[in-house]
Structure 1
Amino acid sequence: MRSVRYTPPLWRQWNLVWNFAQRDLKSKFKGSALGWAWSLIVPLATLGIYTVVFSFIFRAEPPDLGNGRDGVFVLFLFAGLTAWTFLASSINGGISGLIGTGALLKKIYFPPYAPVLGAVVAVGVQSLIELGLFLSVLLVLGNVGWSWLLVPVWAAVFTTFTVSLAVIFAVLNVTMRDLAHLVTIALQLLFYATPIIYPLTLVPEHWHSVPLRVLIEWTPFSQFIQVFRGLTYGLDAGSWMSWLTMVAWAALALGIAALVVRRRGGDLGEEL
C-alpha cells in the first residue's frame, strides 16, 4: 500500500523552490558563449520567423492598436507568444524537473511540487524579460492605458493555472512515462488551435455544423491569451465573463493538482 507523507504548506517550502529555480537558471546557459543573451535571442528569432511567414508570405492583417494606430503584426504576435511560451515551457520544464530530481528524492523526501515550481520560476524569469521588452515597445508607441494595471492580476491567475497543470502532468508522468510525449504533441496541436499567430476573426464560425469559432474562443488557453493581448495590445480590459472563465479554469486546475499531489505524491522516490 502506498504510504502518504505529510506535505508542508507551500509558503514553508519557498527556500527549497528557489534553490531548484537557481539550479535551473544556472544550468540553462552553462558553458554557452552568449549566456543570458540567449534568453532574448531565441524568442526574437522565433518572432522574426513567424513575422516573415505571416506578414510577407500569408500577409496576415493584425487588428489596430488600442490607441487607434495601425496594427503591428510583430507586437500582436509577441503578445501571444509571450504567454504561450511561459505556459508550454513551464509544463515541459516541470515534467523534466521532477524526473531530474529522482536520485535526490530517493535519499531525502521533499514535496514533489518543489522542483516543478522551481522550473516554473526559472521559466518565469525569462518570460519577465520578454514581457518587459514587449511593454517597452508599446510604451514607445504610446500604446498605454489603464488596462495595464490589470496585467498583474491576469498574471497571478495565469500563473496559478500554469503551475497547476505543470504539477499535474509532472506527478502523473512519474508512473506514466508516455504522458510526457503525449503532452508535447498536445501542446503542439493546441498552439495552432489557439489564436496566437492569427486573430480569432480568421476562424470560420462553423465547420460542418460545428461552432468552431466559439469552441476555440472559450478554451482556457484562448481566454488567457486573448485577455492578455487585450490588456496590453488592444487596451481593453476584457469582459467579466472572460475573467470569470479564467478564474474558474485556474481554480479547477489548482483543485486537481492538490488532489493529484495528495494521492500520487507520497513516495515518488520509489518510482523514479
Structure 2
Amino acid sequence: MPDDFKAEQSSGVNYKKAGTEKTLEYTVSADASYLRFDLGSGASETTISGITVESNGKTAVIDQNVFSETVRLQEVKQNNVSDGIALTAEKEDPYLVWNTENWGIAKLVKDSLWLRYLLVKILACVVLDIILIVALKAGKKLIVLPKEVYQNRKLLWNLSKNDFKTKFAGSYLGIIWAFIQPIVTVVVYWFVFEKGLKAGGINTRAGIDVPFVLWLVAGLVPWFFFQDALNGGTNALIEYSYLVKKVVFKISILPIVKVVSALFVHVFFVVFTLVLYSAYHYYPDLYTLQIVYYTFAMFIMVLGIVYATCAIVIFFRDLTQVINIVLQVGMWMTPIMWNIDTMELSPVLITIFKLNPMYYIVAGYRDALINKAWFWENAPLTLYFWLLTAVLFGIGTMIFKRLKIHFADVL
C-alpha cells in the first residue's frame, strides 16, 4: 500500500454546520487501487452511508461490508451501524485507507464504455478501409512525383539552398534569425512550465522521468519543422510566381523546395537537441537513429498537405490565416506541452487525440530520445499514420494537378 498520497491528487469539502447530512462527490481514477479519506485535524464523529460509484451514466452501489474493509486506520475507530459506517476520530490527522480493488470500479467502467469502444472500433475500420482505397487509387500519382524529384534533383537542391539563404536576406543577423526564434520559444515555454507554473508538481509533468526541458524539446523540435514547412510550403507558388508562369518549369518541385528549406533548420535543432541531451548525460544510442525515420515520415506527411494548401491558397488567400489558427490550436492538441498518458481523460478522447498524425511524430521523437522504444512496437498507430499519409499525399497531388492549369492565369 502506498504512503505517498499527494495533496494535488485530493479534493476536500468543508462542513459549515455540524450534525447535518452532506453529499460528497469525488472523481476517482478507474485504475486507482487505494483511496484515503481524511477526517479533518481533530476529534470528530462521522457516519458514512449510501456509497455509490458512477461511470458514464451507470451507477453501482457498494456493499457496506465491502466498503468497511479498510487497510489502514490512523487515529480512527470504525463501527458498522444500521444506517452506515460510524467513524470516530480521536487525535490529530485522523484518516483511513480503503482498498478499492473489490469495489468493482474497473468492471463498471468497462461495462459503461463497451458501446463506445465498439463504435470506435467500427469507425476505425471504416476509416482505414477508406484510406486504403484512396491510397490504392492514388498509387500512380505517388510514383510520378519521385521521378520528377529525381530528374530535377540538382535544381531542387540549389533552389532550396537559395531559399534558405534569402529568407532573411537584408537583416543584420541573416539566417541566424532562423535559429534564434525557436530557441527563444523553447526557453519561454520551459520557464513558464518549469519555473512559473511549477510543472514538477502538476499533471503537466506527471509521469515524466527526465528533466522537463528534455521532454519539452523532444516535442517542440518536430513541431517547429511541421509549422515552418506548412507555412512556407503553402505560400510557395505565390512566392515563386515568376517561375510558375514559365511554361517549361516543373512547378511541382516548388512546394518541395520550401519543405527542404525548413529541413535545414530542423537538422540544426536535432543536433542541438542531441547536444542538450548529452549535457544532461542522456547520450545518443541506436534508438536515436529513429529520428531519421520520424523526420522522413513527417516530411512526406507535410508535403502531401502542402501540395493541397499551396494550390488552394492561390484562389482562397484567407487560407493562410486559417492555417495559422489551426497551428496555434494544434500545438496544444497534439499534445506537446502536457503528458496525455497521465491525464484523466476518457479512452474515447485519448483515441481522438492519437488520431492526430503529429501525435505519432511527437511521441516517436520522445520514444527515440527518452522512452527507448522502436517504432514498430506500436504497429497499429504506425500503420494508421502511413495509410493516412498516403491519403493526404494522394489527395494533395490530385488537387495540385487539377488546379495547376489555372495557376498562371490567377497569379
Q: If the TM-score is normalised by the length of the shorter chain, which range does it land in?
A: 0.7 to 0.9
Q: Is the deviation greater in 110-119 or in 85-94?
A: 110-119
Q: 1:76 aligns with which of 212, 215, 219?
A: 215
2 CA distance for matches of 1:165 and 1:132? 26
Deviation at 1:202, TM superposition (A): 4.8
Structure 1 residues 267 and 254: CA distance shift in structure 2, 3 A = same
Whether 1:116 and 2:258 are equivalent positions in the alignment is no
Normalising by structure 2, report the TM-score: 0.59
Q: Does 1:222 align with 2:345?
A: no
Q: Does 1:199 align with 2:336?
A: no
Displacement, 1:165?
0.9
Conserved 8 A contact 2:287-2:372? yes
Cα distance in 1 between the residues matched to 2:163 and 2:381:
34
Aligned partner (choices 285, 288, 299) of residue 145 of structure 1: 285
Partner deviation per Cα, 1:145-167 (whole Å, 9 max, x = no partner):
33223222222222100111111
Which residue is equivalent to 1:259?
Answer: 398
| Structure with more contact order per residue of length (Cα contacts < 8 Å, sep ≥ 6) | 1
Counterpart position of 2:325:
185
CA deviation map 1:202-251 (0-9, x unaligned): 54413xxx832221123211111111211122222241222212212221
Q: State the shift of 1:53 in Å.
A: 0.7
Aligned twin of 1:96: 235
Partner of 1:172: 312
Cα separation, partners in 2 of 1:168 and 1:203, compared to 1, 3 Å: farther
What is the TM-score normalised by the length of structure 1?
Answer: 0.86
Task: Assess, with a 3 A threshold, how the Cα gap between structure 1 residues 142 and 78 changes in structure 2: closer, same or farther.
Answer: closer
Taking the aligned partners of 1:36 and 1:173, their CA distance within structure 2 comes to 27
One-letter code of the match for 1:139?
Answer: S
Q: CA RMSD in A?
A: 2.3
1:52 to 184, 191, 197: 191
Listed as ranges, the gaps of 5+ residues in structure 2 are: 1-143
Matched-pair contact (CA < 8 Å) for 1:227–1:242: no
Instruction: Please list the CA deviations of residues 50-92 of structure 1 after superposition, one character each: whole Å capped at 9, or x if unmatched.
Output: 0011111222244677xxxx41111111111111111111111
Pair 171,220 (structure 1): closer, same or farther in 2 beyond 3 Å? same
Alpha-carbon shift at residue 129 of structure 1 (Å) = 0.1
**8 Å CA contact retained: 1:147, 1:236:** yes
Match of 2:348 in 1: 211
Higher helix share: 1
Structure 1 runs of 4+ aligned residues shifted over 4 Å read: none
The aligned amino acid for 1:113 is: S
Instruction: Please state whether the residue corresponding to 1:9 is helix, strand or coil.
Output: helix
Q: Work out whether residues 117 and 163 of structure 1, in 8 Å CA contact, stay in contact via their aligned partners in 2.
A: yes
CA distance in 2, matches of 1:256, 1:135: 36
Count, aligned residues: 260
Flag structure 1 segments of 5+ consecutive residues without an equivalent.
1-5
Say whether 1:15 aligns with 2:15.
Answer: no
Choose between structure 1 and 2: higher strand proportion.
2
Is this contact kept in 1: 2:207–2:339, CA < 8 A? Answer: no
Q: CA 1:211 to 1:64, structure 2 compared with 1: closer, same or farther past 3 Å?
A: closer
Q: Residue 142 of structure 1: CA displacement?
A: 3.1
- The answer on whether the counterparts of 1:138 and 1:233 sit within 8 Å (CA) in structure 2 is no
Distance 1:181 1:91, change over 3 A: same
Q: Secondary structure at the match of 1:133?
A: helix
